[in-house]
Each structure stands twice: as structure tokens, then as C-alpha cells.
């Protein structure tokens, strides 16, 4: 490795680092995607050379957190040269007082990402050491206090004994995975804490499973700083509306009364369907036709005092509502599921009309916005 001063200005110095190898090299058409997650220049080399494809993506994140950039030049069969820059603060005293000699200085960062948090506590449940350390560093840069655990069981314990504003939950962990940990937290004394899935896959089925299992949102790994900042800003705000340190009974979700939950999150639906608006319309139409029978089934289960059946039906409604972006309905369904799990059927009786009202609001919204045709009232919901 070589290091040299790249540029110097008042209060800051930029240092360029160069690393060269004599490996297999990289074709020009492959360089653009090289710093993305899970990308290797030649998939056929995986078994011979190993690696998960995460190293360069993580390096890119770290370099950008230090106010720099990273790039590569290469020739097939001759090797590659990687260069990256990092910007450091300078103290008074002339050019000799360079950033290389003052490693305790804080690196600069983009203005848009500076101190967006105010010390809120974020629990990171992640068993991979590298991922965990990067996320903790990102949280610190964004102004949050991060604390880490290494499996789902530890995450459940930490939530129950700590005062956290949000959980970043890896889906695949030893001892207890993120899905089961989420279920346990939803049954704990803090059921409404925002839980953000950390998933190695950005495929639609995996994202949908995260939401249907009770998680609030998701981030693909490796976690990009701007996406992390946006998700935290969104859900920490929601958490402040939900959080209560009093009687645990006061933590029962009452999502229909919270303005943070939109009636129809069209962006989330289109994101799941890769922007296919025709497919989105078909999915919405199917949900509009199917949801009334789900609500009727909830009513039947309630009339029969069937708490386990009520829980399963509410769970089904919660998952389908999450899939189509019916956020307000989703949260009422979560409240129904939680109440039924606890055997609080009187609370279910209060919440069921809210679910019916939220579905009707959702149906009117998607009709008004032109996603489905405005035929006769096809809600099919029987009077309560």
C-alpha cells in the first residue's frame, strides 16, 4: 500500500491510498458493478478464490463515511490497482501537520447525513462481526446510540430490559432467528417498538415475508448509509408516538388513531412489484375482493369466543394488508392479533369496527386514485 497527500485546503487534508495486486484482473464492463453487494468479476472463480462479494461493498461504505471515494483500474491477467481517498481534519501549524499524523481527527461527512439523530437508542441484532461493526459505526455517524447483540434470544431480552427506540433485526441468526425474535417481541411488554429487518436478499418474497412476520420495514445488506438514515428518521418518529413507559397494558397498539400510518402506501407496493403498475392494480383488486371475507371470518371467530382462531385470522389479514400497502389497516390487524394472543377478546370487539373502517378507507382511496374501478359498493362487509 502507498499513501500520499492528494489535496490540501484550510482545515482539511485529503489523502490518497493505493493498493495494487497481480491477480486475475477485471474486465472493463465488470468494474461498474464491482462495488455492489454479492458481485464478483467472474462467478466461476468463486470456488477457487472464495469470498462472499461483501468486502468491496463494505469498503465503499467506509470510504464514503470518511468523505472519500474509491475506484479501480485493471487489466485482465495482469492485476488491479485500487485507489481510495479519505478526508481528515487539520490542526493549525502548517502543511507538516497532515491528516496522516493525526489519526484521532474525525473524518468529514456529507452535510445531508450529519447528526440526523439525537442520541436515540438503537438495538442491532446481527451475528456477523463485520456487518455489526459497520452498522454501529454508521449509527454513531448519524447521531444515534447503538447497542449490539448476536442472536434473536439476546434481542428479545434486551428489548424487555432496555429502553430502545428501534431494533435493527438480522433475519438469519443462530439460537433464535429474526422472525421468531420479532414474534416474541410483539408479545412482550413493548410490542410496538419498530423492528427493521436486515436481509441479505432484496427479492420481493423475502421483503414480503419480513412485513408479514411483523417487522415494520427492511434494509438490504450491506446497509447503505443514506437508506439507513431515511429508515431511522421515519421509524424513530413513529416510535416516539407509540412509546410508553407506564403500565404495559398501555402499550396495546392503537394504530388507527396514529396519523403516522398512511391509508395507502403506494410506494411500498410498487417497490415490492418492481414498479409494475398493471400488476399492482391486479393485486389491489384481488385484495379488495378478498378482504371482506377475512373481516367476516374475524367476526365469526369473535362470536364463537375463538381466541386462537381470531389470532390466526388477524395474522392473515395483517400480512395481506402489509403486502398491498394498507398501512393503517395493517396496524389494526396487528392490534387484533396481539389482543387475541393475550386472550383479550373485549379489546378485539372494540378493534374489529376499526378494522372494517380502515378497510373501507383503503378501498375508497384506491378507487379514488384510479387503481381499481369504481363499481357498486363491493365491500361485502356485513354490519357488526
Locus of grid cell 394488508: 321
Pairwise CA distance, residues 226 & 152, whole Å: 26
Domains 2-101 and 111-251 share a fold: no
pLDDT of residue 383: 41
- Of 286, 70, 129, 323, which Cα lies nearest the Cα of 208? 323
Per-domain residue ranges of the chain: 2-101, 111-251, 266-368
pLDDT of residue 55: 60
pLDDT of residue 381: 46
Pairwise CA distance, residues 206 & 179, whole Å: 12
Mean pLDDT of the chain: 78
Q: Which of 71-85, 86-100, 172-186, 268-282 is the least confident region?
A: 86-100
> Average of pLDDT values for 66-74?
80
Q: What are 199's strand-pairing partners? A: 220
pLDDT at 149 exceeding the cut of 70? yes
- Of 43, 65, 55, 67, which Cα lies nearest the Cα of 19? 55
Contact 113, 141 (CB under 8 A): yes
Residues whose CB falls within 8 Å of the CB of residue 243, separated by 6 or more in sequence, listed in order: 165, 192, 193
Looking at domain 266-368, its CATH architecture is Up-down Bundle (1.20)
* CATH class entry, domain 111-251: alpha beta
pLDDT of residue 242: 53
Residue 343, number of CB atoms within 10 A of its CB:
14
- Of 188, 326, 316, which Cα lies nearest the Cα of 252? 188
CATH of domain 2-101: 3.30.565.10
pLDDT of residue 374: 67
Amino acid at each position: 500500500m502507498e499513501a500520499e497527500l492528494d489535496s490540501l485546503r484550510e482545515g482539511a487534508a485529503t489523502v490518497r491510498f493505493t493498493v495494487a495486486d497481480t491477480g486475475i484482473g477485471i474486465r472493463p464492463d465488470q468494474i461498474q458493478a464491482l462495488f455492489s453487494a454479492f458481485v464478483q468479476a467472474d462467478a466461476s472463480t468463486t470456488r477457487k478464490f472464495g469470498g462472499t462479494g461483501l468486502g468491496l461493498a463494505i469498503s465503499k461504505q467506509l470510504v464514503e463515511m470518511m468523505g472519500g471515494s474509491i475506484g479501480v483500474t485493471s487489466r485482465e491477467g495482469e492485476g488491479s490497482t485500487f485507489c481510495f481517498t479519505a478526508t481528515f481534519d487539520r490542526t493549525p501549524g502548517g502543511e507538516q501537520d497532515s491528516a496522516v499524523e493525526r489519526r484521532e481527527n474525525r473524518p468529514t461527512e456529507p452535510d445531508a447525513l450529519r447528526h440526523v439523530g439525537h442520541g436515540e437508542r438503537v438495538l442491532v441484532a446481527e451475528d456477523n462481526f463485520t456487518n455489526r461493526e459497520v452498522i454501529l459505526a454508521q449509527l454513531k455517524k448519524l447521531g444515534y446510540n447503538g447497542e449490539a447483540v448476536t442472536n434473536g434470544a439476546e434481542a428479545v431480552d434486551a428489548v424487555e430490559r432496555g429502553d430502545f427506540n428501534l431494533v435493527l433485526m438480522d433475519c438469519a441468526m443462530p439460537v433464535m432467528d429474526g422472525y421468531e425474535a420479532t414474534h416474541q417481541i410483539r408479545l412482550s411488554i413493548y410490542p410496538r417498538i419498530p423492528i427493521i429487518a436486515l436481509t441479505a436478499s432484496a427479492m420481493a418474497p423475502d421483503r414480503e415475508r419480513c412485513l408479514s412476520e411483523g417487522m415494520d420495514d427492511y434494509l438490504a445488506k450491506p446497509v447503505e448509509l443514506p437508506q439507513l438514515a431515511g429508515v431511522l428518521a421515519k421509524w424513530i418518529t413513529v416510535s416516539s408516538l407509540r412509546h410508553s413507559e407506564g403500565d404495559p397494558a398501555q402499550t396495546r397498539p392503537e394504530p388507527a388513531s396514529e396519523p403516522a400510518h398512511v391509508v395507502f402506501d403506494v410506494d411500498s407496493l410498487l417497490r415490492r412489484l418492481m414498479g409494475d403498475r398493471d400488476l399492482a392494480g391486479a393485486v389491489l383488486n384481488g385484495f379488495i375482493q378478498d378482504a371482506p371475507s377475512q373481516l367476516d371470518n374475524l367476526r365469526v371467530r369473535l362470536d364463537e369466543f375463538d381466541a386462537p382462531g381470531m389470532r390466526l385470522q388477524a395474522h392473515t389479514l395483517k400480512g395481506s394488508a402489509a403486502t398491498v400497502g394498507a398501512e393503517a389497516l395493517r396496524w389494526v390487524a396487528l392490534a387484533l392479533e396481539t389482543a387475541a394472543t393475550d386472550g383479550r377478546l373485549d379489546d378485539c370487539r372494540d378493534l374489529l369496527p376499526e378494522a372494517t373502517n380502515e378497510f373501507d378507507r383503503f378501498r375508497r382511496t384506491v378507487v379514488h386514485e384510479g387503481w381499481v374501478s369504481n363499481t357498486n359498493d363491493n365491500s361485502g362487509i356485513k354490519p357488526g
